[in-house]
Amino acid sequence: MSDPGPLTRSKRGLAIEVAADLGDLLYELTHDKKHRAAIGKLIKEARPESPHAAAFKDVELEDRLSAFEEQQQQRELENQRKAILSRMEAQRQRLLDGDDEGGGRRYSEDDIKKIEELMEKKGLTDYEDGATLYSATVPQPGPLDDDPVRSSTWEFPHFDKFKDNPDKAAKDVAYEVIRELRQKQRGRR
């Protein structure tokens, strides 16, 4: 029988066949997309100066690209959040002040707080929708006590005053109406 000769070993003392199997396994794992990044990071950490670590430059570039994309995504989300908050604040202010012409719906700060509670409860982010829902759920006040009683016949008020001196009577009535309106306005404040 012939002697196969001395068993060849790796520099770590492993049988060449075992070392070759481990080398093949490492090769397969470093070329597997699922495991390449983890093994590349491990090699760069364990032997940063080795030529093997330099072979994983693509992993570092991918990490940088992923970090950049995540940063961009976070920035975009922050911009969207700011835009939504700005829009909501403008809508809130419009409900307090009315529209640009001074008309439109106007609510007190207490009403706005109730609208916001309703919006939160219903998951709304639009103040206009919240105000519409709020106004539909809050009972509207009835006619005021000082509203004139409406009837189908109309009489000319104080006819005697007007028949003698219509200009003077018209001015007197106009000033009286203005005075009453001002008194009512002062009473509401």
Query: What is the block-wise mean pLDDT of the chain (189 residues), using blocks of 10 residues?
Result: 60 85 87 87 87 83 90 95 92 83 77 90 89 82 57 66 80 85 71
Name residue, tokens 């639009």. 126
pLDDT of residue 1: 46
Residue type, 176: E
pLDDT of residue 6: 58
Element (H, E) at 57: helix 57-97
How far from 106 is each of 59, 100, 143, CA to CA, in Å? Answer: 59, 12, 19
pLDDT of residue 21: 87
d(CA 187, CA 171): 24
pLDDT of residue 150: 64
Domain chopping of the chain, boundaries: 13-55, 71-139
Q: Which of 62, 61, 43 is nearest to 53 (CA)?
A: 43
- Find all residues with CB under 8 Å of 113, minimum gap 6, and list them: none
pLDDT of residue 143: 53
pLDDT of residue 56: 83
Cβ atoms 174, 182 nearer than 8 A: no
pLDDT of residue 142: 54
Question: Torsion over CA of 138, 139, 140 and 146, rounded to 10 degrees?
Answer: -130
pLDDT of residue 158: 64
- Residue 2: both structure tokens together: 């012939």
